[in-house]
Amino acid sequence: MPMQVQRPGFGYLPDPHWTYEKAAVAVIPVPYERSTTGGKGTAAAPDAIIQASDIIETFDEERGIELGELGIATLEPLPVSRTTPAEMGEMVEDAVARVLRDQRFPLLLGGEHTITAPAVAAVARHLSDKPTLVQIDAHADLRESYQDDPHSHACAMRLCLPHVKELVQIGVRAVSREEHGFLREHRTSGAAPKITTFIAGTSRIEDILAKLAEIRGPVYLTVDMDGFDPGLVPGVGTPEPGGISWADGCAIVKALCSGADLVAADVVELLPIPGLLTSQVTAAKLIWRILSQKFFRQ
């Protein structure tokens, strides 16, 4: 069965660059929201990001590259609004696996952060190898359970650990006591997978970029938009003071793609604010930066 593509899609691209047959990238909207805390509304984020992409130039002014001809097919949103975590996970795994089999780059739009674990599982299964997971996020998301829910968005990275060989966290500035102990245990005992956490405000951007430039092999990138400074991205459910800047975010993507093989990515936890486009425009522009560095290294 052919993949169902929606119009307009990300980038509002002209014929034939929006078709699945011509696409190098498949955008997978996953409007899933079940466990979010703080502000509600992340289920509306995929559509908001797609709409915001209409007002962004497809030309990368920093690198002089036209990205609109890359080919981006935006799939119909997964029907996850009334599903259980297991049902949502199965849908996400199946969609990502199909896109990978078709030799397209899967880019997921959430929704809450729990969509990441099944996507990472699909990547690991497709590769027959565990990828490195790079996380931009204000929160560690390493709780074993939160509010008696082991599938909470606060457990998103903990759910990913069985499928990755290393986790690199960037922008973190909210860690629970439980997570602090868990991270210390992984540092001192050598427990797998290796976890490296860069705390926003104390870790130098130079150290972060150096770490990312050393990574080789397959990488999955997950971007929780609250990893950015809330002055830049106010539209998130659980904002934290501080965070990474736009320039640092672009530098992080560039360093990551310099030596590693970026095989999939997601952008999650955006909460659109009515009448204020800043957050979704930043998310859409970040996606273009990711695709620029992924597909045009030189």
List of domains in the chain:
25-295 (3.40.800.10)
Q: Read off the pTM.
A: 0.96
Rounded Cα distance between 219 and 261, Å, is 6
Residue 107 pLDDT grade (very low, low, confident, very high; cuts 50, 70, 90): very high
> What digits encode the pLDDT tens for the residues 134-158?
999 999 999 998 787 778 888 999 9
Rounded Cα distance between 241 and 231, Å, is 9
E strands, 228-273, are 261-268
103: Cα within 13 Å, side-chain hemisphere: 2
Residues ≥6 apart with Cβ < 8 Å to 29: 46, 47, 50, 74, 75, 76, 77, 78, 108, 109, 111
DSSP 46-65: HHHHHHHGGGS-SEETTTTE
Percentage of the chain lying above the pLDDT 70 cut: 99
